[in-house]
Amino acid sequence: MTTTLITGGTVVNTTGRVEADVLIDGETIVGVLPPGSELLGSDLKRNVDQVVDATGKYVLPGGVDAHTHMEMPFGGTFASDTFETGTRAAAYGGTTTIIDFITQYPDQRVLDQYNLWQEKAAGNCAIDYGFHQILSDIQPESLTAMDELVDEGVTSFKLFMAYKGVFLSDDGQIFRAFQKGSDNGALMMMHAENGSVIDVLVEQALQRGETGPINHGLTRPWQLEAEATHRAIMIAEVADCPLYFVHVTAKQAAMQIAEARGRGGNVFGETCPQYLYFSLEDQLGAHSAERGEFEGAKWVASPPLRSKHEGHQDFLWKALRTNEIQMVSTDHCPFCMKEQKELGANDFSKIPNGFGTVEHRLDLLYQGVVDGKITLERFVEITSTTPARMFGLYGRKGVIQPGADGDIVVYDPDGHTKISADTAHMAIDYSAWEGFEIDGKVDTVVSRGKIVVQNDQYLGRKGDGQYLKRGTSQYLT
Ligand code: URP
Ligand code: ZN
Ligand code: ZN
Ligand code: ZN
């Protein structure tokens, strides 16, 4: 067993920061000690095998990205990152845990899909991983499967109010699943957009010959996210079931969550870096004569980017600060332009939906600290501690304290990062984040006591990551 000492840095937890050395024995943190290893017990001191010098740097709990779609079958193709490439890219960016979504389509059995995801991930991951289960067109068999999955450590379930015929469940189906979640302690998750109205708007736009990527956003207005969010909250209240909204983009949807929380509800939301940084106007700006209108396909995801004239982005930053929104995940679901996004060259509704961001989440949110939008402690909370608590991993993940897994990011506030597809490690042929600059840099990443990234080099091996059998949410009251 290797003993690792991370020395000279500033250890940051949600509760504050302290100058301290972190001692990891094998895979587990055994001490957060006053600086200066002379204070170590002589036995431990003799046995330190590797030292990471964190002088002048932050020592953070490894990032927990609770929303990824590795190899997701979607829109007639597969998300371009495999578990191998996607988790390695995550490690480069300081994320040491992902929770990926097992995908189930209406013609598939839930438990078959669970087994398939276990097979896909086993032996391939660079970092630890857990699963949520997507439930489509919920049938009695799916409700029974929910109980079995909770026992397997899949303690959260995503439902959809959009994508009719693909993922959508109607309100009655949603209500039954919520009742089951209320019964077995699972955390229900919602993709909140009014799919029936969107389908009409999409059909009408296509009939008018409006086929370019920007119409994706124009046919999914914020009202349809706010309405679905409100409806789901009301249904969850009747079912007495906690509810977590994935990828919140609209100010008015966030306000629905805040209002429900104000009334004491166990209602939560995540947002994603793309909704904090990009707007519909940015996507329109991609229509240059030189690059062509289809460039906008790079920013197609659901829900869509929102107009900067309506204040969504500023509101989401504020909501993160005030805990109206609890955390940030990536919704990592990358598709290359060539042969993937291009499937929608003549019809925006056929552009596979999603962004590739798993590698950049920590950097992009750290820039929020530099810009004075969130504190350093809140940054740790929304990228690591809350995701761990929300999804039943806290104690092992999300905190630097004795007994926790040795998952650490040494982050250099004097470093600099410039994002480019040329230097990133995700399996995607462009970067939606091309040219973004961050006043900080990932220095060293430790996953269960093993240095997996240092000096921009990957030092881990595929299969280092293990399946995380999660408990139920530790965030509920
Ligand atoms: O556009 C998105 N968000 N793609 C991934 C699937 C989902 O709805 O999360
Ligand atoms: Zn979704
Ligand atoms: Zn997603
Ligand atoms: Zn800079």
Q: Please provide the DSSP assignment of 173-192 as one string.
A: HHHHHHHHHHHHTPEEEEE-
Q: What is the pLDDT of residues 427-450, one digit of tens each?
A: 999 999 999 999 999 999 999 999
Ligand 1, pocket-test mutation among 353, 355, 428, most atoms within 8 A of CB: 353
pTM of the model: 0.98
Q: Which stretches of 208-279 are DSSP H helices?
A: 214-218, 222-239, 251-262, 273-277
Domain count, the chain: 1
CA distance 353 to 333: 8
What DSSP string describes 24-81? Answer: EETTEEEEEE-SSGGGS-HHHHHT--EEEE-TTSEEEEPEEEEEE-TT-EETTEE-S-
User: Angle at the Cα of 102 (from 99 to 108), degrees rounded to 5?
Assistant: 175
CA distance 330 to 101: 12
CB-defined site of ligand 1, < 6 Å: 69, 191, 247, 301-302, 331, 333, 353-354
Q: Please give the distance, rounded to the nearest whole angstrom, from the Cα atom of residue 372 to the centre of ligand 1.
A: 29
Q: Please give the distance, rounded to the nearest whole angstrom, from the Cα atom of residue 28 to the centre of ligand 1.
A: 34
Which ligand 1 atom is nearest residue 163's CA?
A: 8
Range of the structural domain that residue 222 is part of: 62-390
Q: Report the half-sphere exposure of 470 (CA within 13 A, side-chain side).
A: 32
What pLDDT, on a 0 to 100 scale, did the predictor assign at position 36? 76
User: Measured between alpha carbons, how far apart are the two ends of the chain, in Å?
Assistant: 39
Whole-number Cα distances in Å, 233 to 228, 372, 475: 9, 32, 17
Residues sharing a CB contact under 8 Å with residue 31, sequence separation 6 or more, in sequence order:
21, 22, 23, 40, 44, 402
- Write the residue with the smallest CA distance to atom 8 of ligand 1: 302
CB count within 10 Å of CB 469 equals 14
CB 110 within 8 A of CB 142: yes
CA distance 225 to 229: 6
What pLDDT, on a 0 to 100 scale, did the predictor assign at position 290? 74
CB 82 within 8 A of CB 71: yes
User: Angle at the Cα of 283 (from 278 to 286), degrees rounded to 5?
Assistant: 125
Rounded mean pLDDT of 191-205?
98
Would 196 be classed as within a structural domain? yes
Q: What is the pLDDT of residues 154-166, one digit of tens each?
A: 999 999 999 999 9
What pLDDT, on a 0 to 100 scale, did the predictor assign at position 91? 99
- Write the residue with the smallest CA distance to atom 4 of ligand 1: 354
The three-state secondary structure class of 147 is helix
Rounded mean pLDDT of 217-236?
98
Would 108 be classed as within a structural domain? yes
Largest distance between two CA atoms of the chain: 77
CB count within 10 Å of CB 139 equals 16
Which ligand 1 atom is nearest residue 300's CA?
A: 1
Q: Residue 236: which CATH number? A: 3.20.20.140
Rounded mean pLDDT of 196-222?
98
Q: Please give the distance, rounded to the nearest whole angstrom, from the Cα atom of residue 472 to the centre of ligand 1.
A: 24
Q: CA nearest 443: which of 379, 362, 365?
A: 362
pLDDT at 288 over 80: no
CA distance 473 to 477: 10
Would 143 be classed as within a structural domain? yes
CA distance 193 to 423: 35
Nearest ligand to the C-alpha of residue 301? 1
Would 3 be classed as within a structural domain? no
Tokens of residue 307, six digits: 């107009």
Which ligand 1 atom is nearest residue 69's CA?
A: 5
What pLDDT, on a 0 to 100 scale, did the predictor assign at position 204? 98
pLDDT at 39 over 60: no
What pLDDT, on a 0 to 100 scale, did the predictor assign at position 287? 78
Ligand 1, pocket-test mutation among 70, 247, 305, 349, most atoms within 8 A of CB: 247
Q: Please give the distance, rounded to the nearest whole angstrom, from the Cα atom of residue 369 to the centre of ligand 4.
A: 13
CA distance 167 to 105: 6
Q: Please give the distance, rounded to the nearest whole angstrom, from the Cα atom of residue 261 to the centre of ligand 2.
A: 22
Which ligand 1 atom is nearest residue 67's CA?
A: 9
Residue 427, phi-psi category: left (phi > 0), alpha (psi -120 to 50), beta (remainder): beta
pLDDT at 42 over 60: no
DSSP-derived secondary structure letter, 164: T
pLDDT at 123 over 70: yes
- Write the residue with the smallest CA distance to atom 3 of ligand 1: 302
Q: Please give the distance, rounded to the nearest whole angstrom, from the Cα atom of residue 416 to the centre of ligand 4.
A: 6
Would 331 be classed as within a structural domain? yes
Q: What ipTM score was computed for the predicted complex, to two decimals?
A: 0.93
Tokens of residue 409, six digits: 């990011």
Rounded mean pLDDT of 338-344?
98
Q: What is the pLDDT of residues 50-108, one digit of tens each?
A: 999 999 999 999 999 999 999 999 989 999 999 999 999 999 999 999 999 999 999 99
Would 364 be classed as within a structural domain? yes
Would 405 be classed as within a structural domain? no
The pLDDT mean for the chain works out to 96
Q: CA nearest 387: which of 96, 126, 103?
A: 96
Crossing angle of helices 140-151 and 110-121, in 10° steps, is 40
Residue % of the chain over a pLDDT of 70: 98
Q: Which of 238-247, 269-278, 286-295, 362-371 has the lowest mean pLDDT?
A: 286-295
Would 475 be classed as within a structural domain? no
